[in-house]
Structure 1
Amino acid sequence: MPNRLAHETSPYLLQHADNPVDWWPWSAEAFEEARKRNVPVLLSVGYSSCHWCHVMAHESFEDQETADQLNAHFVSVKVDREERPDVDAVYMEAVQAATGQGGWPMTVFLTPDAEPFYFGTYFPPAPRHGMPSFQQVLEGVHSAWADRRDEVAEVAGKIVRDLAGREISYGDSRAPGEEQLAAALLGLTREYDPQRGGFGGAPKFPPSMVVEFLLRHHARTGAEGALQMARDTCERMARGGIYDQLGGGFARYSVDRDWVVPHFEKMLYDNALLCRVYAHLWRSTGSELARRVALETADFMVRELRTNEGGFSSALDADSDDGTGKHVEGAYYVWTPAQLREVLGDEDAELAVRYFGVTEEGTFEEGLSVLQLPQQEQDFDADRVASVRERLLRARSGRPAPGRDDKVVAAWNGLAIAALAETGAYFDRPDLVEAALGAADLLVRLHLDEHARLARTSKDGQAGANAGVLEDYADVAEGFLALASVTGEGVWLEFAGFLLDHVLTRFADPESGALFDTALDAEKLIRRPQDPTDNATPSGWTAAAGALLSYAAQTGAEAHRTAAEKALGVVKALGPRVPRFVGWGLAVAEALLDGPREVAVVGPGLTDEGTRALHRTALLGTAPGAVVAVGTPDSEEFPLLAGRPLVDGEPTAFVCRNFTCDAPTTDPERLRSALTD
């Protein structure tokens, strides 16, 4: 008989609806039940494409004996971290503070007042590698609750007090200057892996936000070392197993330093960020590899993640059926030489073995290889390689596909909108711009209420009940601003303004300029979450700073620019110390130091060839964070167009920054120079 999770919309929660565990969703009713029964709460947090979440579910939550123990002595609450990033953030902070590490599945034991007192991540079904079994943990917690309640209460109270006392250094409410950005670049250089690209050791995550900073820093200062780190990192990732060499798109991270073996889940946010990174790398360098990867990643998102409603799904699982009924990590993506021969025949299989780095021993597990590009592509016949790739992709499509988490997360769709809009504009792919518009329409239609408040998620055309957090407002505003610049439709600028007004009134501290991850009127947790550092996505804090700055440049809104500058104060403090974790904040600071430049293109409309030429040149400018408005002279849709007449009746571009404007030009080459010098 299904438990309470059967009524939820989260694919992750629905995966547990048939567990014998009497699960509750996160709710006041669950904690009231714990108070009534006088038992602790087991909080289990994960997400649908999490490999070890599936493992623990199979080993423990599907086990009747374990379920009986849970049901007798606990109220069990299951949370999808992607639906409730606020709950995840608060308790992950406690887990990391107590254990020095964190991860998912996250397992936390709480009092009925939601105060944590015991922590962990994955627990095995039997003692292993020094870890107790999950049933041993349950017995120990139950005994402590029954026999040492005062001690449990003391521990919980101390943890909550410690969390409440953790203060974030806001800097001095001034944005980073040249000195701090130079120190951040030096710090990145020290952590850079010159042999393999990327930063630090294994596991290696795609450093999307750091690469954006490096590209902007090079564009503003000409620092060749910054461009070299960005270019080499992107090339190594694109040639590694972390990139899907057949279908496009990136896995979440590489388990090794060489980008060979990925953790195979594919997340929307990674692919949106990396699509944009590679498009911007092409814009800076003209790299053919960057162009190909940007387009293939965009096509992957549209082909495999777009929902029937026009939004983009959260993720594809790492695991899938290996063809024998076993659910195995990476089964959809890996190959043996024999499998290649079966699809391609001996001669083309030999080419594929050399081209993709497939070995008899395997580069993954049990003789299986992840496809890579270890050779230079020019050493192979392009037409023959294209035929091989097409046949392998067709054969792979016959394998059981990984599961898809179909929920639409507002923030990640905002990132996808920005990436698809810009990639479509750069490479003359109107279908990608249309896909971005479709996702934006869905967010407006389904996620925004009449007060422009965002729902965090939707699924199957139904908005979820959870309120949007700061990253949702910031990333959706970022996507809408990019869409406004690409399409010339000012309504997207207007929608971005609605969202950013909420950032100013409901998420910002009016005194310090600090930003909170949840709104002033959001559900109260044991701590109001607040984190300015990037994780796999830009922090809501720095993403908001970037969107506020761009909106101010488009509209002249002084309040938004001031808020952006104040928010960047924390980057001034953190950038020189931990640059890898404030990459997006550093990128926004580069835009602030450059102005950012404001480009107004006026003409008869985007059906006019001259207007299109100037508009495309403006979009391809590498000046950090430049904003672009296009329309007819004095169009009311974009404030930047006010007072901008045609010159000699011709389409004209105006470039301004810091209240100073260049002479207007009708020449795309002069405009290009104005946006690269």
Structure 2
Amino acid sequence: MPNRLAHETSPYLLQHAENPVDWWPWSDKAFEDARRRGVPVLLSVGYSSCHWCHVMAHESFEDKATADYLNAHFVSVKVDREERPDVDAVYMEAVQAATGQGGWPMTVFLTPEAQPFYFGTYFPPRPRPGMASFRQVLEGVSAAWTDRREEVVDVAGRIVEDLAQRTGIALGSDAPAPPGEEDLHAALMGLTREFDATRGGFGGAPKFPPSMALEFLLRHHARTGSEGALQMVSATCEAMARGGIYDQLGGGFARYSVDAGWTVPHFEKMLYDNALLCRVYAHLWRATGSDLARRVALETADFMVRELRTAQGGFASALDADSDDGTGRHVEGAYYVWTPERLREVLGEADAEFAAGYFGVTQEGTFEQGASVLQLPDGKRPADAGRVASVRERLLAARERRARPGRDDKIVAAWNGLAVAALAETGAYFDRPDLVDVATEAAELLMRLHMDQRGRLARTSLDGTAGGHAGVLEDYADVAEGFLALSAVTGDGAWVDFAGLLLDTVLTRFTAEDGTLFDTADDAEALIRRPQDPTDNAAPSGWTAAAGALLSYAAITGSSRHRETAERALAVVRALGPRVPRFIGWGLAVAEARLDGPREVAVVGPGDDPATRALHRAALLATAPGAVVAVGEPGSGEVPLLQDRPLLEGRPAAYVCRGFTCDAPTADVEALTAKLGG
């Protein structure tokens, strides 16, 4: 008998719809039921491609005895953290404050007033050294609630008070200063100290793709000429592309590497990682002409289109880490790993031996049970590119016959905005109009299905139906970023207008009087606190993403209000960048754009004129940090940056400006490139 989750649109919640647990979705009615029954609330937060979420579900939530105990003593609430990042954020902060760590599945016990009092992540079905079983935890919490309820409620109240004191971010009444040259240099030095010169990346295991820090380093190199910054990007991008974290057959990146050398990934693939990394590799190619960067950017773009694109034209959230291993067991990495024997079955003896050497497949294996994750070990430079292509094609075809990992078809507005920007730029750089078309269709879906006429966004949709949860700050910022990038590539000024609607909502609903930004709108559902976090996590924070989109929009339109809000928001980067640069990389990248201007490039000329197209391409390939580009017919009033820009003696021309103060126009592509870098 399905439970209440059967009526939800989240694939993660739907995975639990047949559990014997009497789940509620996050709702007022769930807490009303807890108050009526006088029982605490179990809040379980996860997401569809989370390996340990699946493990706990199989071990505990599918177990009838555990479910019966839960149903008798608790109201159980299941939340998809990707659908409700606000709920996840406020309780994850409580978990981290109480335990010193966090993760998913997140398990929190709440009073009927939604105040947390006991915390954890994964709990096993049987006790382990240093870890109680889930049933022991449930019995302990139930006993405490029954026997010491006043004490529990008092503890919960003090936890909420402590969280309220911890989380206020104030920029002050005086105009706060955005980062300057010294601040960005200090951030560069911080990254240099944490850089792994042997294996690329920053820090040790587990090692996550540092896409936002890499974007900062690319922009810093472009603005200052720092070879050290570029070297860190190049080394990290090569190490990731040659490692097991990158899918050597199908393209695309896994979520992270469990080791410091990028060898063994946690196999889930997320849309946001691939969108961000596609853009980083495309920008690295733009800066260096690297063949490897070009290949990886295009393969990652093709992976997103092939594996994540939905029937509606948007992009699904993720692919699971687990899949059927052919024996009926659901195993992490089963879809991706190889043994020498499996190579021989597909390729025959000679090509299997070649492939094993090329991809680093050994008898001992690099993963579990003698299996290997495909990688490109250092120094492997095959003489026969045709043989490599043939081997890769046959292995990919054989892998396609395996049981595929599950896909979370939920469309998240923010992550689709990141994908729009990445695919539009990659398509423009590498003469792939099909990628630009796909980016346009995704943007049209966001505009048509997720966005209303007031400029308000729905966070998610599924199968062409918008979800009921309001967009958060990252949704508005990343979708605006995608729309602005698409306008720069296509010359369609309507995308600037749509971005403006979203950013006006950021100004009126997400921005405090002192310029601080909140993750939820001022009219959103009230939680135990209003979430507010400027630090980047797996993707740019809403705060730093909004600063970037506001700055770009101001450069296109000349809006001083948008620029001033961006600059006030960047003050937090000045405070955090020198201390924790890895965790505010996007903010540092935006600060680089601000110091550079950002440069505003207006290209005017008939759209079918090869000279217009050549100038437009040169502008898009500019390495000037955060350069904004507008292209259109002479006299076009659609985009303010294009207004009052005549042809140059009857020829298409480019105007390079800062603060709408422009250099002399040029009709020469090389001169434009020299002005902008590239």
- Is the pair's TM-score, using the shorter chain for normalization, greater than 0.5? yes
Name the structure 1 match of 2:128. 128
Alignment check: 8 A CA contact 1:242 1:254 kept: yes
Aligned to 1:332: 335
- The Cα of 1:637 is off from its aligned counterpart by 1.2
The residue that corresponds to 1:566 in the other structure is 568
The amino acid across from 1:336 in the alignment is T
1:299-448 → structure 2 map (5 Å cutoff): 299-376=302-379, 378-448=381-451
Q: 1:370-414 CA distances to partner (integer Å, 9 max, x unpaired)?
A: 000114454331010000000000000000000000000000000
In the alignment, structure 1 residue 176 sits paired with structure 2 residue 187: no
- In 2, Cα distance between the equivalents of 1:170 and 1:118? 33
Aligned twin of 1:652? 653
Query: Could you say which residue in structure 2 is the equivalent of 1:502?
Result: 505
1:552 is matched with which residue? 554
2:49 corresponds to:
49
| 1:298 and 2:301 correspond | yes
Mapping for residues 1-80 of structure 1, pairs under 5 Å = 1-80=1-80
Please tell me whether the aligned partners of residues 483 and 498 of structure 2 are also in contact (alpha carbons under 8 angstroms): yes
**Distance in 2 of aligned mates of 1:181 and 1:169:** 22
Q: Distance in 2 between matches of 1:52 and 1:514?
A: 35
Provide the C-alpha distance between the structure 1 equivalents of 2:364 and 2:258, rounded to a whole number of angstroms: 18
For residues 351 and 435 of structure 1, what CA distance do their matches in structure 2 show?
37
CA contact (8 A) 1:169 1:570 kept: no
Displacement, 1:278? 0.2
Structure 1 unaligned spans of 5+: none
- Cα contact 2:316–2:408 (8 A) shared by 1: yes
Counterpart CA distance in 1 for 2:635 and 2:391 is 54
- The answer to whether the 8 A contact 2:427-2:434 is kept is yes
Q: Which moved more, 1:441-450 or 1:415-424?
A: 441-450
The residue type equivalent to 2:339 in the other structure is T
The residue number in structure 2 matching 1:468 is: 471
Within the candidate set 595, 602, 605, 1:603 is matched to 605
Counterpart AA for 1:618:
A
Rounded Cα–Cα distance in structure 2 between residues aligned with 1:661 and 1:406: 46
Query: Could you tell me how far apart the structure 1 residues matched to 2:628 and 2:178 are?
Result: 20
Structure 2 counterpart of 1:200: 203
Q: Given the alignment, which residue of 233, 236, 239 partners 1:233? A: 236
Residue 641 of structure 2 corresponds to 640
Equivalent residue in structure 2 for 1:592, among 585, 591, 594: 594
Deviations 1:45-75 (A, max 9, x none): 0000000000000000000010011000000
Match of 1:117 in 2: 117
Aligned to 1:153: 153
Mark the CA change 1:228 to 1:354 in structure 2 (over 3 Å): closer, same or farther: same
Equivalent-residue separation in structure 2 for 1:313 and 1:666 (angstroms): 42
1:640-666 Cα distance to aligned partner (Å, 9 max, x none): 111111111111000011443221110
Letter in 2 for 1:661: C
Report the more deviating stretch, 662-671 or 584-593.
Answer: 662-671
Hey, what does 1:105 align to over in structure 2?
Answer: 105
- Give the match's secondary structure for 2:636: coil
Amino acid at match of 1:412: W
Whole-Å Cα distance in 1 between the matches of residues 365 and 600 of structure 2?
Answer: 52
Query: In 2, Cα distance between the equivalents of 1:389 and 1:266?
Result: 20
Matches within 5 A, 1:662-673: 662-673=663-674
Q: 2:212 aligns with which of 209, 218, 221?
A: 209
Residue 613 (1) aligns with residue 614 (2): yes
Kindly provide the amino acid, as one letter, of the partner of residue 123 in structure 2.
Answer: F
* Structure 2 Cα separation of the partners of residues 169 and 448 of structure 1: 30
Task: Using the TM superposition, give the Cα deviation of residue 248 of structure 1 relative to its aligned residue in structure 2, in angstroms.
Answer: 0.2
> 1:318 touches 1:330 (CA, 8 Å); kept in 2?
yes
Q: Distance in 2 between matches of 1:117 and 1:27?
A: 19
Q: Please tell me the residue identity of whatever aligns with 1:483.
A: L
**Contact 2:4–2:22 under 8 Å retained in 1:** yes
Residue 93 of structure 1 is matched in structure 2 by 93
**2:281 counterpart of 1:255:** no
Quote the offset at 1:129 in angstroms.
2.9
- Flag as ranges the 4+ runs of structure 1 deviating above 4 A: none
> Corresponding residue for 1:220?
223
Q: SS of the counterpart of 1:522?
A: coil
Identity %: 79
Range with bigger deviation, 34-43 or 655-664: 655-664
> Which residue of structure 1 aligns with residue 139 of structure 2?
139
Separation in 1, partners of 2:176, 2:401: 56
Which residue is 1:185 aligned to? 188
Q: Sort the Cα spacing of 1:169 and 1:183 in 2 relative to 1 into closer, same or farther, 3 A.
A: farther
Q: Decide whether the 8 Å contact of 2:170 with 2:516 is kept in 1.
A: no
Shift of 1:636: 1.2
Task: Tell me the residue number matched to 1:242.
Answer: 245
So what's the TM-score if we normalise by structure 1?
Answer: 0.99
Letter in 2 for 1:676: G
Work out the CA distance in 1 between the residues paired with 2:378 and 2:91: 45
What TM-score comes out, normalization by structure 2 length? 0.99
1:676 deviation in Å?
A: 1.5
Kept in 1: contact 2:20–2:67 (CA 8 A)? yes
1:168 Cα deviation (Å)?
A: 2.6
Q: Is the 8 A contact 1:219 1:676 kept in 2?
A: yes
Aligned residue pairs total: 675
Give 2:454's aligned residue.
451
Which of 515, 529, 532 is residue 530 of structure 1 equivalent to?
A: 532
CA distance in 1: counterparts of 2:356 and 2:643, whole angstroms? 60
SS at match of 1:68: helix
Q: Deviations over 1:579-617 (max 9, x none)?
A: 000000000000000000000000011x22111100000
> How do residues 267-306 of structure 1 correspond to structure 2 at under 5 angstroms?
267-306=270-309
Letter in 2 for 1:505: T
CA contact (8 A) 1:355 1:375 kept: no
Q: Does the residue aligned with 1:165 lie in a helix, a strand or coil?
A: helix
Q: Does the 8 Å CA contact 1:170/1:573 hold for their aligned counterparts?
A: no
RMSD after superposition? 0.9
